Amino acid sequence: MDYEQRYNVCKAKTGDINKANCLYGLLRDITRLQDEVQLSIPAINESVAISNNLINNANALILEASKYKGDIRPQVLYGYTRGKVGAIVENWNAMAHDYNITQKDQSELLVLEHKKEFKIPIIIERPERAKEQEEDIFKDQDKLR
């Protein structure tokens, strides 16, 4: 079955849970193919190499999110997603750097981003609402498999 056909099958499913399960599976398969295509593109110059790295890291984020069917808990806990987000910031910095050095008149230089490491644990701002927030954030998550 081709991807467009699979997409139409997913969209025709009844109920949001059924659609989400089907669409996450499709998204993962499409991204795997996209990843193979991207990895086959020769890095013929620095610009293409940076772009390829950016695509690779973005694909990794999509694969990770689709693997866990949108559940943010493993994405946060395992650290892989955080590493890829950091790599995207590094890709941006490389792009901005190379762009800046090629601008002869220096009129529109791009700002480099600083990759900040979180030194303190993330806490819930309003502990009295923590249970309610968790219920809202992860509603029906266990139904996605």
The pLDDT tens digits for 57-95 are: 999 999 999 999 999 999 999 888 989 998 998 998 888
The residue that leads in pLDDT, 61 or 137, is 61
Do you know the residue count of the chain? Answer: 145
pLDDT tens digit sequence for 11-28: 999 999 999 999 999 999
To the nearest whole percent, how much of the chain has pLDDT over 70? Answer: 81
For residues 111 and 74, the model is more confident at: 74
* Percent of the residues in the chain that have a pLDDT greater than 90, as a whole number: 52
Q: Rounded mean pLDDT of the chain?
A: 84
Assigned token pair, 8: 């139409």
Domain ranges, ordered by start, for the chain: 3-143
What token pair was written down for 131?
Answer: 């249970």
User: How high is the pLDDT of residue 124?
Assistant: 46
Alpha helices in the chain (DSSP H): 3-12, 16-40, 46-67, 72-77, 80-102, 130-137
Give me the pLDDT at residue 32, please: 94
Q: What mean pLDDT comes out for the span 111-130? A: 58
Residues 6+ apart with CB under 8 A from 137: 72
Exposed, middle or buried: residue 140 (CB in 10 Å: 0-12, 13-18, 19+)? Answer: exposed
User: How confident is the model over 87-105, as a mean pLDDT?
Assistant: 85
